[in-house]
């Protein structure tokens, strides 16, 4: 049994944590004395960062000479099959571990990853299923059976998604706006929902990742999961076109989203880079309506999406960087908004992943991170580092806070 003291716990007045057998035993103030006491020195303590949308089979593929010169989404998708032809399990594993290290070393303990299953050999999927089990003491990984080239654009794509679910993928994925015609996109949405029900799997769809305001697969997805009562199991990722839709449509949909309880994920750095490529000025930001979702009480989270791949050349798994970019682009930096902004990379992502043992609750796994600041506002303003990550009550890592320097000013 160990006791952590002087902890500024996010959204709590509690300052002390007692851990036993890897779980939260007590959370409060003036708790019992423990022989093993750790002073957190009034630093800000959060539940671990959650990255609910990442492509671990793509990370660092840009370093191997694969890049979209135009910087557009569809060129990047078109380049991927050429690279995938020669995909080797050892290379996928090496790059994925590098991407996981990037994230875990910066406070992430939960990742949901899209794995392309339009590959009859399931090379990447097999690697990721192994890594999920192998690294479970370091982080939780959810795997999405994702048809990157489309369920119907790629011959047999729908059947490959189903086989991936049978093999152990946790989530049904899709990309309806990439199908060859609207009818095929709609058909894929029906298939996604049917597969979710058949195998009792979560849903996470690349949905309307385009500037075209007429791309409205989101409307169909929401209607189907609302009727089936599985909205809380469902996430719509990107939904960029919803940011280009007119207000009359958008506010009608807000009411329907609240009824279905569907989740949303925005990938601010990637979408600001990829979208609006055909615009001159005014130039769209490419983000969905993050601010309005929050104001309407609809769950939305931020995610990294890509690390050094054909879609996005940068990225390093730093969720503080994602948060910083996202709150600027979505204009959510009023004092009240800032006090809640960390939800976008913690609790909201956990809700997308349906993590029922996440956060500071008695009996939950004792997983949390410590930031190099003592309050939310300054932590975000200074974009501070994670100085410790604790999993099941044990340190994954801890590092020095700041360099001691003296300046003559």
Assess contact for 370 and 45: CB atoms under 8 A. yes
User: Which DSSP category does 305 fall into?
Assistant: B
Both structure tokens of 86: 């020669």
Count Cβ atoms within 10 A of the Cβ of residue 277 and give its class: 0-12 exposed, 13-18 middle, 19 or more buried: middle
- Cα separation, 175 vs 237, in Å, equals 10
Q: Which of 209, 219, 270, 373 is catalytic?
A: 209
Q: Residues for the chain: how many in total?
A: 409
Count Cβ atoms within 10 A of the Cβ of residue 313 and give its class: 0-12 exposed, 13-18 middle, 19 or more buried: middle
Query: Which residues make Cβ contacts (< 8 Å) with residue 68, sequence separation at least 6?
Result: 75, 76, 79, 310, 311
Q: Which residue has the tokens 């932590």?
A: 379
Both structure tokens of 181: 């015609």
Is 133 among the residues known to form the active site?
no
- Cα separation, 161 vs 388, in Å, equals 38
Q: What angle do CA 125, 129, 131 make, to 5 degrees?
A: 115
What phi and psi values does residue 95 have, to the nearest 5 degrees? -70, -40
Give catalytic residues, as residue numbers: 209
């Amino acid at each position: 049994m160990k006791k952590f003291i002087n902890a500024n716990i996010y959204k709590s007045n509690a300052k002390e944590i007692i851990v036993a057998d890897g779980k939260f035993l007590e959370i409060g103030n003036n708790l019992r004395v423990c022989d093993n006491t750790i002073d957190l020195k009034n630093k800000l303590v959060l539940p671990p960062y959650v990255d609910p949308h990442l492509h671990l089979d793509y990370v660092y593929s840009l370093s191997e000479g694969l890049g979209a010169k135009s910087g557009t989404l569809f060129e990047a998708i078109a380049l991927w099959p050429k690279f995938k032809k020669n995909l080797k399990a050892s290379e996928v594993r090496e790059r994925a571990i590098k991407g996981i290290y990037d994230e875990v070393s910066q406070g992430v303990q939960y990742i949901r990853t899209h794995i392309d299953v339009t590959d009859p050999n399931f090379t990447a999927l097999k690697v990721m299923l192994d890594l999920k089990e192998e690294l479970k003491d370091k982080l939780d990984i959810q795997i999405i059976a994702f048809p990157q080239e489309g369920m119907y654009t790629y011959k047999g794509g729908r059947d490959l998604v189903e086989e991936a679910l049978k093999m152990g993928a946790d989530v049904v994925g899709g990309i309806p706006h990439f199908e060859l015609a609207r009818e095929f996109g709609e058909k894929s949405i029906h298939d996604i929902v049917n597969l979710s029900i058949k195998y009792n799997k979560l849903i996470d769809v690349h949905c309307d990742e385009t500037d075209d305001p007429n791309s409205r697969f989101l409307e169909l997805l929401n209607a189907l999961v609302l009727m089936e009562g599985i909205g809380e199991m469902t996430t719509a990722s990107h939904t960029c076109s919803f940011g280009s839709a007119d207000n009359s449509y958008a506010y009608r949909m807000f009411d329907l989203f609240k009824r279905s309880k569907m989740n949303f994920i925005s990938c601010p750095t990637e979408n600001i880079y990829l979208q609006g490529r055909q615009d001159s000025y005014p130039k769209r930001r490419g983000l969905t309506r993050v601010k309005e979702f929050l104001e309407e009480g609809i769950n939305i989270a931020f995610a990294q999406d890509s690390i050094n791949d054909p879609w996005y050349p940068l990225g390093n798994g730093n969720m503080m960087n994602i948060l910083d970019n996202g709150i600027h682009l979505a204009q959510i930096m009023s004092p009240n908004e800032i006090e809640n902004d960390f939800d976008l990379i913690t609790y909201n992502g956990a809700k997308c992943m349906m993590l029922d043992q996440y956060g500071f609750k008695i009996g939950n796994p004792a997983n949390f991170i410590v930031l190099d600041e003592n309050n939310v506002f300054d932590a975000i303003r200074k974009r501070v580092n994670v100085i410790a990550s604790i999993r099941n009550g044990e340190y994954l890592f801890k590092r020095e806070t700041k360099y001691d320097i003296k300046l003559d000013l």
